[in-house]
């Protein structure tokens, strides 16, 4: 297992997320941070995007999913995102943090952080 990583920080999206009726009516801010663990040596040697996880492609899939799915819990959305990341066969492990800014009074945000490995169920 490699300790090499690709980090995607502060991906701010809008989507339906929550259990209360008002949370289901209109999209709200969702903040996502990802760490993709993969062996980056092949791309370091070849300088070829085909030898590394394509974070642009992974991010596009996440954006499409968040804007479309409308999950009730932050935990379920984090599990979805982990599964999308692990769909790239070069990603060995992923750390996903999903936050809802302003979800609690007096708190900047509320979030969950999960880690999943290839071959391990995301949920």
Catalytic residue among 71, 100, 116, 122: 100
For 1-108, strand residue ranges (E) read 5-15, 28-37, 93-101
Determine contact, residues 90/39, Cβ cutoff 8 Å: yes
Enter the tokens of residue 6: 């690709």
Query: Is 100 an active-site residue?
Result: yes
Contact of 36 with 94, CB cutoff 8 Å: yes
Alpha carbons within 13 A on the beta-carbon side of 45? 5
- Which residue numbers are catalytic? 100
């Amino acid at each position: 297992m490699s300790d090499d990583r690709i980090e995607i920080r502060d991906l701010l999206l809008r989507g339906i997320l929550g259990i209360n009726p008002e949370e289901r009516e209109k999209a709200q801010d969702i903040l996502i941070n990802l760490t993709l663990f993969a062996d980056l040596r092949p791309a370091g040697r070849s300088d070829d995007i085909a030898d590394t996880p394509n974070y642009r492609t992974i991010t596009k899939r996440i954006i499409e999913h968040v804007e479309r799915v409308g999950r009730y819990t932050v935990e379920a959305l984090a599990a979805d995102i982990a599964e999308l990341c692990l769909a790239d066969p070069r990603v060995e492990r992923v750390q996903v943090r999903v936050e809802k800014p302003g979800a609690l009074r007096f708190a900047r945000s509320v979030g969950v952080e999960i880690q999943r490995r290839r071959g391990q169920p995301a949920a």
